[in-house]
Amino acid sequence: MWTTDYRSQLGAGFKLGLLVTATSVAPVLAVASAAPDAGVPALQSDFGGVGLLQTPTARMADTGELSINYHKVDPYALTSLSLQPFDWLEFGFRYTSISNRDWSVSSQDRDYLDKGVNVKLRLIEEGRYMPAVALGLRDLGGTGLFSGEYLVASKRWHNFDFSLGLGWGYLAAGGSISNPLGVFSNHFKHRQQHAGGRHGGKFSTNQMFTGDVGFFGGIAYQTPWEPLVLQVEYDGNDYEHEPLNNNQEQDSRFNFGAKLKLSDNFTLAAGWERGNTAMLGLTFHANLAHLTQSKADPAPVPAKQAPNTTTDDWNTVARQLEANAGIHATRIVQQDDTLVVEGQATTYRSLPTSELRGNRILHNATGKDIKQFKYRWENAGLYLREDTLPRDPLPKEVFIAQHNNHFTAQDYRNDIFAQGFSAARADAGGGISLYENRRPAYDFSISPGLQINYGGPDGFLYQTLINANARVWTDPNGFFSGTLGYVLFGNFDKYEYLAPSGLPRVRSHIGEYLDQTDLGVFNFQYTRTARLGENWYGMGYIGYLEMMYGGAGGEVLYRPFSSPLAIGADVNWVKQRDFDGGFGFRDYDTVTGHLTTYWDTGFKNVLAKVSVGRYLAGDWGTTIDLSREFESGVRVGAYATFTNASSDAYGEGSFDKVLYIEIPWDAIFTRSSRNTLSLTWDPLTRDGGARLHRRYQLYDMTQDRALGHYWGNFQQRR
């Protein structure tokens, strides 16, 4: 199921439409001629992932590339999503709909649908004489119907790109060459069919690189007309012995195709495969690593000559700090020659952006006796850090002139900060109080929402909503929050299939919740935060915690300042809610909780999270979550959960796995924002490994404790 939600640093807010990722995309045909030796672009194959038609190549897309593909070659319709988190790793999900085979578990007339995971690793980069070499796995963790492994090499020559590969499994079904690995063990000589297990989802490592092998390969040619690439390949598969006894006539092992770039984001594919079957396809692709949007933010306040005396109109200063620097000031204090601003970042993802803007405002308001400014940052009543900046030199007018107009985060860190960073103290530590104000008593917003379910026997299901979101503060550390949703239209009334489960139905009733809720309370809770020590944070909450569960719980987080490591624990008692989204409850209740370790690895902005604990169905296990944040602020990640629930009890899929993308509003809209759009793809909604969807999490609320996060989001908009 695809779900989307809108997040601020306080956590999940509400659902938002999936179509946002296609913002500002227009299918405009490029007509410029290709330059000589322009090279061949990395294009998506029928199965998803960079390749030719049916076969892969050793090429990789640009780092951060996201591709959503649809290819139709009868009787198969292949829908896939491919991500390039690193220049050496390609990762994707694929659905294969088979039009001439029925899905027996559905009461409706539905085509059979197979799911799988694809992975490709680059082993060798291309050199002057050395080809690029990659190792790949298809249909990993699926049923194994289309599983195959391969080793492939690619070499460019002018506007041609040549590939030659050695395949196992589906990629070599037509091969009659004995497996060369058979000299090491008889295990490699024979291949087990459908090794993904009765329910699918198993990592069938025992069958990898087993059975006969076959060759595949081809050529891609970049034509003089830049949008057009021509392809020819030799396909190693034998279509006359297809899975599910779905044998297809094959008049030729050569496939021919063309890819036409319609715009920067869309590519059209067409081909002639098996010597007798047409192929049509369309790819949407966008680079998440470089996702950005020009800003219409207000210009920084011009710096004036420092006044002789300090202003007494601090209400105006506070309003300027909020409107121009994105700082909601809760207190302003003078301590000798230092002006201290306590508050929360409201607009800019990067604290340096807020601080440099704030410096200008404070400079214009304070007398010459003030030598430095301190910013004490907090979020939801939790003090996070203290940053000290000198009054002089002021940014841009003085500093940039000294650095030849080249201003970097490292310059800012080394030269602008006089006394640098420290863990925040609980208060201003004395001084003269100039301004004090509680945060706004409430905030309110209206937003659209979208729920999509694809990949089940009931076909494509969707639901559009409008959500009202509110938060009311009782004091700086306590607030009520809620989301009320109203369904505008959708077709979840067609949701019929209830998957077999040997566990309590803690998630598999999701169809009933979506179908029976017209006007629903998706969240209504009271949350209270506390700073328990210099590096300790706590939070408690009670209420209707999500669409399916209400209850009470708490979380504790140990997060040393600027440390790559943090550890947290949460415990929750929850009771299952009624399907209609009202205030009633069902009979099921449970205790769930986890101990979670967070590790900022320092490698390519990769964050690793490992959680151990008890899940909603009472099963015990571990969730492993790996994600990478790009310079754009977009984070892509995936997690898998393994519990003591057997594959028979879990059902189809055997274990839980999820892909997610978090996109900052800042990257797609013309106004700066600290809010985030989260897109989550869960191929199967099952009961095993199910976690409580807590709206707020302390690790997210304390992100500004991490200097890596601080500098990675630095913006040169001052």
Distance CA 49, CA 283 (A): 11
Distance CA 314, CA 186 (A): 81
- Does the residue 94 lie in any domain? yes
Average pLDDT over residues 191-211: 66
Strand-strand pairing, 565-577 and 549-558: antiparallel
Maximum pairwise Cα distance, the chain: 90
Least confident of 237-241, 525-529, 707-711: 707-711
Average pLDDT over residues 171-190: 80
650 vs 525: which has the higher pLDDT: 525
Distance CA 46, CA 577 (A): 43
CATH number at residue 333: 3.30.300
> Which contiguous run of DSSP H or E holds residue 119?
strand 111-124
> Could you please report the per-residue DSSP string of 383-411?
EEEEEEEESSSPTTTTHHHHTTT---HHH
**C-alpha separations of 1 from 11, 159, 677 in Å:** 21, 41, 16
Distance CA 382, CA 426 (A): 9
> Which contiguous run of DSSP H or E holds residue 316?
helix 314-325
Residue-wise pLDDT tens digits, 499-549? 788 899 999 888 888 888 899 999 999 999 999 999 999 999 999 999 999
Same domain, yes or no, for 77 and 215? Answer: yes
Residue-wise pLDDT tens digits, 52-81? 999 999 999 999 999 999 999 999 999 999
713 pLDDT band (50/70/90 cuts)? very low
Distance CA 593, CA 614 (A): 6
- Does the residue 223 lie in any domain? yes
Average pLDDT over residues 641-664: 83
Question: 625 near 631, Cβ under 8 Å?
Answer: no
Least confident of 157-166, 186-195, 614-623: 186-195
Cis peptide before 500 (omega within 30 of 0): no
- Does the residue 489 lie in any domain? no
Same domain, yes or no, for 25 and 77? Answer: yes
Please, is 107 exposed, middle or buried when counting C-beta atoms within 10 Å of its C-beta (0-12, 13-18, 19+)? exposed
35 pLDDT band (50/70/90 cuts)? very low
Backbone angles phi, psi at 243, to 5 degrees: -60, 155
423 pLDDT band (50/70/90 cuts)? low
CATH number at residue 111: 2.40.160.40
Give 120's DSSP letter. E
Same domain, yes or no, for 96 and 241? Answer: yes
Average pLDDT over residues 147-160: 95
Per the listing, tokens 């690995």 go with 181
Distance CA 350, CA 569 (A): 28
Same domain, yes or no, for 175 and 273? Answer: yes
Distance CA 567, CA 595 (A): 7
pLDDT at 635 over 80: yes
Please, is 273 exposed, middle or buried when counting C-beta atoms within 10 Å of its C-beta (0-12, 13-18, 19+)? buried
418 pLDDT band (50/70/90 cuts)? very low
The pair of three-digit structure tokens given for residue 437, joined into one six-digit string: 């104000």
Strand order across the beta sheet in which 338-345 lies: 420-422, 382-390, 372-379, 338-345, 327-335, 432-436
Same domain, yes or no, for 553 and 686? Answer: yes
22 vs 351: which has the higher pLDDT: 351
Same domain, yes or no, for 524 and 432? Answer: no
Distance CA 292, CA 55 (A): 33
Distance CA 515, CA 531 (A): 41
Same domain, yes or no, for 359 and 212? Answer: no
> Which contiguous run of DSSP H or E holds residue 344?
strand 338-345
Average pLDDT over residues 390-409: 48
Distance CA 389, CA 360 (A): 12
Same domain, yes or no, for 131 and 275? Answer: yes
- Does the residue 445 lie in any domain? no
| The last residue of a domain, from among 286, 305, 337 | 286
**Number of domains comprising the chain:** 3
- Does the residue 478 lie in any domain? no
Same domain, yes or no, for 432 and 554? Answer: no
| The last residue of a domain, from among 388, 417, 438 | 438
Distance CA 365, CA 363 (A): 5
Backbone angles phi, psi at 171, to 5 degrees: -75, -10
pLDDT for 486 equals 93
pLDDT for 105 equals 62
Helices 351-365/314-325 angle, 10° precision: 150
Question: 272 near 257, Cβ under 8 Å?
Answer: yes
Distance CA 442, CA 473 (A): 6
Same domain, yes or no, for 279 and 318? Answer: no
CB atoms within 10 A of CB 256: 17
> Could you please report the per-residue DSSP string of 676-699?
EEEEEE-S---STT-----S--HH
Same domain, yes or no, for 193 and 269? Answer: yes
SS3 of 582-640: the string is CCCEEEEEEEEEEEEEEEECCCCCEEEEEEEEECCCCCEEEEEEEEEECCCCCEEEEEE
Question: 590 near 566, Cβ under 8 Å?
Answer: no
108 vs 288: which has the higher pLDDT: 288
Per the listing, tokens 């030729």 go with 252
- Does the residue 294 lie in any domain? no
Same domain, yes or no, for 109 and 41? Answer: yes
pLDDT at 125 over 50: yes
Please, is 185 exposed, middle or buried when counting C-beta atoms within 10 Å of its C-beta (0-12, 13-18, 19+)? exposed
Is the backbone of residue 208 left (phi > 0), alpha (psi -120 to 50) or beta? beta
CATH number at residue 540: 2.40.160
- Does the residue 52 lie in any domain? yes
Q: Is the C-alpha dihedral spanning 607, 612, 615, 620 positive or negative?
A: positive
pLDDT for 646 equals 85
33 pLDDT band (50/70/90 cuts)? very low
CA-wise closest residue to 57 among 141, 176, 173, 155 = 155
| Domain that residue 340 falls in | 314-438
- Does the residue 370 lie in any domain? yes
**C-alpha separations of 581 from 2, 55, 484, 693 in Å:** 20, 47, 9, 15
Residues making up the chain, counted from first to last: 718
